Chain A
Amino acid sequence: MTTPLTRRRVIGGIGAAGVGALAAPSLIRPASAQTSTLNVWSYSGFVTDEFRRKFEAETGITVNLRLVSDQGEQFNLMVAEGGRHSADIVCVAGHRFYQFVDAGLLEPVDLDRLSNWSQVEEEYAVAHWVSRRGRIWGVPLVVVTTGLIYNTEAMEAPESLAVMFDPANAGRTSYQIQDFFPLVMNYLGFDGSARAYAHDHAIAQRAVDATRDFLIEHKDKVRRYYDAATEVQQLLVNGDVTVAAGSSGPAAQLILDGFPAGYVIPREGGLAYAYGFNIAAGAANMDNAYTFLNALLASPENGAAIVRSTGFNSAIKGVEPLLSDAERAVLALSADERARLSWVDVETAAFIFDLIDTAAEEIRAA
């Protein structure tokens, strides 16, 4: 039997739908208040689909994943939430995490609840970018280095950052300003780590201003300032640039995909830092957060999967034997290159990156 659609029924239906819509906010509880969910903010590839499926099936916890692409964006969103965080786990860069800790956005890790903490590589478990004020504040996940990515069919392996400012490469280079800036400071003879300027902001400002002016002067060499790792990959694959300053992850992925790319740490040096998962202060699903972190550290297979999806080295023990020869070869750096790397100084990072962020805005605006 079919029910005839009359004007009265339509109006009644619309009215009921309207009442339902108005009542929806009180009927739908926020995800963060539920106990069978976990809200994770992460960079792409850090929570692999395979791990997520397995974790959800084994624990019954639903992972709500929100992809982030920028530390500043994540910081501002957390501060704006005024202590009632919608995320349980966030993904903070090692050199930025002091800023998050000092702003009260993170929860110290309770090692008694993190039974698989011993699966973190020892050199990273005790690193100064994991602890502050005698507490551990996150679980290191991947290690990133920054250097030069180049098209091997278009140029020889560059030895120096000078290649980025060579008139022969005008309009053929690309970089992410904030990541490249400390390297250029080193290239110009300043201290990119800002350790030397920690007690004198005026000197630091002059060094940053001089580097900013240098980069503005050489703006014609840049085809594009990129933001996400995938952008620099596209620029190289599309033939838009021949050399770019970038991190090890996108370079490794390009090489493994068969693109004629190379990755070097220039003689002026490169930076190293880590990304980890951190628990948001007062996380609504604290138990689920620990379940998630324990599950992640439980098997080196999870670390290997992250290596394959990001191209970054893993901070989890036992990952290397699980990688193929090609993957190991791409991820490995020579002893010389490793010696040229310096870890971002976490003590001065917030101070110098604050100046660099402003300089980056001005470089783009110029």
Chain B
Amino acid sequence: MTRLLVRARRLAVYRTAIDALSASPWLRALVVAVVPVLWVLVTNLAPLVQMVAISLLDRYPLPPGETAAWTTRHYRAFVERPLYLNAFTRSFVFATLVTALTLAVMFPVAYYLSKAAPRSWRVRLILLVVAPFWTSEIIRSFAWILMLANRGAVNSALMWLGLSDAPVEMLYSRFSLAVGVIYLSSLYMLLPLYAALEKIDDRLLEAAADLGARPLTRLRRIVLPLARDGIVVGCTLVFLLAVGLYAMPQLLGGPGDTLFAATIGQVFGRAGDSWPLGSAFSIILILAALGWVGLFAALVGRGGRRRVVR
């Protein structure tokens, strides 16, 4: 390697490039950033741009040799056919509720792991929580099907304990879907919360307690404001995951629980040239989800800043 560098140094082009990089930190940053930026552009932005382009076509896919006209009618279809709006609204309400529930469930867990659990046990406990996530979403969905089915583990236990005479219908309902999605998304809430809570100096809480602050007051005035970033990140991740879920609602949800992502999937799956409609719906979902998350982050962020200023 050293020999190679010595030989390369003899080349004027190499020397000029190295000298330029040595002289300019901006150029060094640019060179370092080129690969990741290109990666983001190619893998993330290019498919989106293509989807926007398809959404504005009259029809797609096209048989060889045919062309399509430009149109915005697929975006208009979203408001003209109110039944699609149902699934769209349901997705946002569902994702918001699931995010709130996941936060409520995972906050105490994250707090325990970061503040109450013995330090030597923390890594092991986190690994225990993470372990189910080594399997795929589909396998975990089927695990819940086995748990919640009429002849599943939960119903068998209820009937064996004499708490129920007949199976309680839990599967293919909003309940089973919510349980599955909270389970699925819990890790995405836990890790940012843990990271934020772990950083809070224990002495702050001890000082507050010494000064007479009750546990709820300490939670409201110290823990929550200082964990704000973790809450925002966790809620954002969980919301974006929940609002775009496809497989789990198909497996665990009932006939009244179709989310907008599933509707988009059906539109894409229709035999014919309906991809522009599916693409338009996808773009609408992406923009609305980002808008919703942006609004949430702005509101929570502003609230947090006000509290700090005070």
- Using a CB–CB cutoff of 8 Å, the interface residues on chain A facing chain B are 8, 11, 70-76, 79-80, 82-83, 96, 99, 103-104, 171, 219, 222-225, 227, 238-240, 353-354, 357-358, 360-362, 364-366
Can you list 29 A-B pairs with a CB-CB distance of less than 8 A?
A: A8-B1, A71-B271, A72-B269, A74-B271, A76-B269, A76-B272, A76-B275, A79-B61, A79-B62, A79-B273, A82-B61, A99-B271, A104-B64, A171-B169, A222-B255, A224-B255, A225-B255, A238-B149, A240-B149, A240-B172, A353-B271, A357-B266, A358-B270, A361-B267, A364-B258, A364-B263, A364-B266, A365-B263, A366-B86
Residue B268, interface by CB 8 Å: yes
| Contact yes or no, A75 B171, CB < 8 A | no
Given A171-B169, A239-B167, A365-B83, also A76-B271 (CB < 8 A) = yes
**Least CB separation from B269: chain A residue:** A72
| Contact yes or no, A365 B63, CB < 8 A | no
Given A76-B268, A79-B63, A360-B266, also A365-B258 (CB < 8 A) = yes
- Using a CB–CB cutoff of 8 Å, the interface residues on chain B facing chain A are 1, 61-64, 81, 83-84, 86-87, 149-152, 167, 169, 171-172, 250, 254-256, 258, 260, 262-263, 266-273, 275
Cα distance A73–B152 when bound, in Å? Answer: 32
* Complex interface: chain B residues within 8 A of A239 (CB): 150-151, 167
* Complex interface: chain B residues within 8 A of A240 (CB): 149-150, 169, 171-172
| Contact yes or no, B86 A103, CB < 8 A | no
| Contact yes or no, B262 A364, CB < 8 A | yes
* Complex interface: chain A residues within 8 A of B61 (CB): 76, 79-80, 82
Given A76-B61, A79-B61, also A357-B86 (CB < 8 A) = no
* Complex interface: chain B residues within 8 A of A365 (CB): 83-84, 86-87, 258, 260, 263
**Least CB separation from B90: chain A residue:** A365
Cα distance A79–B254 when bound, in Å? Answer: 32
Cα distance A227–B265 when bound, in Å? Answer: 13
| Contact yes or no, B254 A223, CB < 8 A | yes
| Contact yes or no, B269 A366, CB < 8 A | no
Residue among A79, A227, A361 with most chain B CB within 10 A: A361
Cα distance A357–B272 when bound, in Å? Answer: 10
* Complex interface: chain B residues within 8 A of A360 (CB): 266
| Contact yes or no, B83 A362, CB < 8 A | yes
Q: A223-B172, A224-B255 are in contact. List 12 more A-B contacts (CB 8 A).
A: A8-B1, A74-B271, A76-B268, A83-B64, A96-B271, A99-B271, A223-B255, A238-B151, A240-B171, A361-B266, A362-B83, A366-B83
Q: Which of A82, A103, A238 makes the CB contact (< 8 A) with B150?
A: A238
Cα distance A358–B272 when bound, in Å? Answer: 11
* Complex interface: chain A residues within 8 A of B86 (CB): 365-366
Given A8-B1, A219-B256, A239-B167, also A357-B270 (CB < 8 A) = yes
Q: Which of B64, B81, B255, B275 makes the CB contact (< 8 A) with A362?
A: B81
* Complex interface: chain A residues within 8 A of B87 (CB): 364-365
| Contact yes or no, B271 A362, CB < 8 A | no
DSSP majority for the B interface? loop
* Complex interface: chain A residues within 8 A of B81 (CB): 362
CB proximity of A319 to chain B, nearest CB, Å: 30
Cα distance A225–B257 when bound, in Å? Answer: 11
**Least CB separation from B84: chain A residue:** A365
CB proximity of B54 to chain A, nearest CB, Å: 11
* Complex interface: chain B residues within 8 A of A366 (CB): 83, 86
* Complex interface: chain B residues within 8 A of A224 (CB): 172, 254-255
Give the 8 A-B residue pairs with the shortest CB-CB distance, closest first.
A365-B87, A72-B271, A75-B271, A362-B83, A79-B61, A239-B150, A364-B258, A222-B255
* Complex interface: chain B residues within 8 A of A96 (CB): 271
CB proximity of B288 to chain A, nearest CB, Å: 16
| Contact yes or no, A104 B263, CB < 8 A | no
**Least CB separation from A215: chain B residue:** B255
Cα distance A71–B269 when bound, in Å? Answer: 9
Cα distance A43–B18 when bound, in Å? Answer: 60
Cα distance A239–B172 when bound, in Å? Answer: 13
* Complex interface: chain A residues within 8 A of B84 (CB): 361-362, 365
* Complex interface: chain A residues within 8 A of B270 (CB): 72, 76, 357-358, 361
* Complex interface: chain B residues within 8 A of A74 (CB): 271
**Least CB separation from A7: chain B residue:** B1
Cα distance A80–B272 when bound, in Å? Answer: 11
CB proximity of A172 to chain B, nearest CB, Å: 9
* Complex interface: chain A residues within 8 A of B258 (CB): 364-365
Cα distance A366–B260 when bound, in Å? Answer: 11
Q: Which of B62, B172, B254, B269 makes the CB contact (< 8 A) with A73?
A: B269
CB proximity of B42 to chain A, nearest CB, Å: 16
Cα distance A289–B115 when bound, in Å? Answer: 66
Cα distance A360–B260 when bound, in Å? Answer: 14
Residue among B63, B84, B167 with most chain A CB within 10 A: B63
Given A219-B256, A364-B262, also A354-B269 (CB < 8 A) = no
* Complex interface: chain B residues within 8 A of A80 (CB): 61
CB proximity of B35 to chain A, nearest CB, Å: 14
Cα distance A365–B264 when bound, in Å? Answer: 10
* Complex interface: chain A residues within 8 A of B63 (CB): 79, 83, 103-104
* Complex interface: chain A residues within 8 A of B275 (CB): 76
**Least CB separation from A12: chain B residue:** B1
**Least CB separation from A96: chain B residue:** B271
* Complex interface: chain B residues within 8 A of A82 (CB): 61, 64
**Least CB separation from A104: chain B residue:** B63
**Least CB separation from A81: chain B residue:** B61
* Complex interface: chain B residues within 8 A of A71 (CB): 271
